[in-house]
Structures are given as structure tokens and as C-alpha cells.
Structure 1
Amino acid sequence: MTTTQQKLDDRYGRRSPARTRWTLGIVGAIAAVVVVLFAWMTVAAAMDDVSADATGFHIVDQHSATISFQITAPPGRTVACALEAQDVEHGVVGWKIVEFAASEQHARAFEETIPTVAEATTGLVNSCWVT
């Protein structure tokens, strides 16, 4: 390479092909590691995913409500759920956290009674999680 060509390459930031390949290899390796980590985090989060559906509720009296619901959880894991009862204005009048022992069943149905401070008009499952 001539000195004029070298001066032009230095001036305009051109690199030799070997350096460019090396840089692309490093960038490619970093990108591959990021993709693998993202995939693992997605799979790990899905393994502990719990879903819950309220199937019904019954207002027992002014100070309690019963909620029927089912959960779908990973087999062999203990699950906890936050249940709530609401009044006409959707204010929370009762709240209860219940924990369910590990089971080999994937889907299970439950019925729980929640004590309330006022008359409830509905009951629902706020959320569930693996403990």
C-alpha cells in the first residue's frame, strides 16, 4: 500500500479487511449471547407461569363472600393467590391470600370464603404466583 493510500485510509477511517472481520465476529458473538439469554429468560418465566379464572361467587352475608375459581400451575409447585371481594363502587371490601400445597395436577378448582367489612357485590381472583 502506498503512503498516499495509507494517509487516505487514516483520514477517512477505513480499516483493513482483517480488522473489519474481527470486529464483525465480536459483534456477532455478543449478539448471539444476548439472544440466548433472552430465550432462556423467556422459557424460565413461562415455567413458573400461573393463570387463574374466577368461575363464580356467592355473597354469603353482609360480612363474607365465597369465590369459586380454578388455577393452572406447574405441577409440583406451591401456589399462592390473592382473592378480593368488591362492593357496588368496585371498592375492595375484603381481601385474602391463600396458599395451596404442591400437586401433580396441572389444573385445580377451589372455593374460598373471604371475610368482608361491608356487603360485597362481586368476588374475584386478583393474582396468583408460584411460591
Structure 2
Amino acid sequence: MPVSSPRGPSRRAWVLGTLAIAAGVALAIWFGLAASLGHVTWQDTAYHVDSDRLVQVGYSVHRAPGRAVVCTIQAQDVHHATVGTTQDRIPASGDATVQRVVQVHTTTRAVTGTVQTCDYAGSSRSS
């Protein structure tokens, strides 16, 4: 009686598996790009506590050229409570990336300043 040898997956199974993985990776990349392209992104670049009542916050915004943006910047105290908030309206221009420095007036001494959100002017979140 012949002894059968265990065989691994066939060549067809390897090809189909490789194609399925490639399709999954392509789909993940497409979903990731679709979720972020055309959206406003921002990055805090600096903050400076000028006094018990004032913080300067620096940040950069990347947006679609020609679109106005509204950003909400907040200052927080040592207990992470918000002690000041301001909105910075960035006018439309041909620049995709814009560097900004804004002043946030506070009710008490802040220890940090950050951008809370940025969105295109006229969207539901920026109104």
C-alpha cells in the first residue's frame, strides 16, 4: 500500500491568497485616503504663557487651497480645565499650509495652549 505524502497548498491557493491579501491592502489604503483627503489637518507647533491672563499658541494648518478655515484654540490650567478659548478665522488663499500664532486670553494662569479643532468655514462644526 503506497504511503501518501502530505501536500501543502496548491499553487492556485497561493495565487488566490496573495491576490486576496493585495486586494485587502489596497482597500485599506483607499479607505484611509478617502477619510483624510480634502480634510483640514493641524499640528500644534508651540505655546508660550505670557502672563496669568495670556497664552500664545503657534500651529500649522493644512487645507485645500482657496478654502477658509476656522480653528478653535484653548488654554488649559494645571488641572486640565479650560481657562480660555478663542476662534481663529483663516481667510481663503492659494496656500495649502498656513502657519499661525494666536493669543488666547485666560481667566486664570494657563500651563498650556492647544488647537482643539479646525474645520472649513461654513461647515456645521465651525459655525
The TM tier, using the shorter chain, reads 0.5 to 0.7
Alpha-carbon separation, structure 2, partners of 1:97 and 1:66: 13
Q: Which residue of 1 aligns with 2:81?
A: 91
Q: Percent identity?
A: 27
Mark the runs of 5 or more structure 1 residues left unpaired by the alignment.
Answer: 1-38
Alpha-carbon separation, structure 1, partners of 2:115 and 2:93: 20
The CA deviation string for residues 45-73 of structure 1, in whole angstroms up to 9 with x for no partner, is 732x0011110100010001000100000
Note if 1:121 corresponds to 2:108: no
Matches within 5 A, 1:13-24: none
For the residue of structure 2 that corresponds to 1:110, the secondary structure is: strand
2:37 to 46, 58, 69: 46
The CA deviation string for residues 11-42 of structure 1, in whole angstroms up to 9 with x for no partner, is xxxxxxxxxxxxxxxxxxxxxxxxxxxx9xx8
Root-mean-square deviation over aligned CA pairs: 1.7
TM-score, structure 2 as length reference: 0.67
Question: Which structure's CA Rg is the greater one?
Answer: 1
Alpha-carbon separation, structure 2, partners of 1:68 and 1:110: 6
TM-score, structure 1 as length reference: 0.65
1:74 to 44, 59, 64: 64
Tell me the number of residue pairs that the alignment of Structure 1 and Structure 2 aligns: 90
The CA deviation string for residues 51-100 of structure 1, in whole angstroms up to 9 with x for no partner, is 11110100010001000100000000000000000000110000001101
More helix by share: 1
2:52 to 59, 62, 75: 62
Q: Which residue of 1 aligns with 2:94?
A: 104
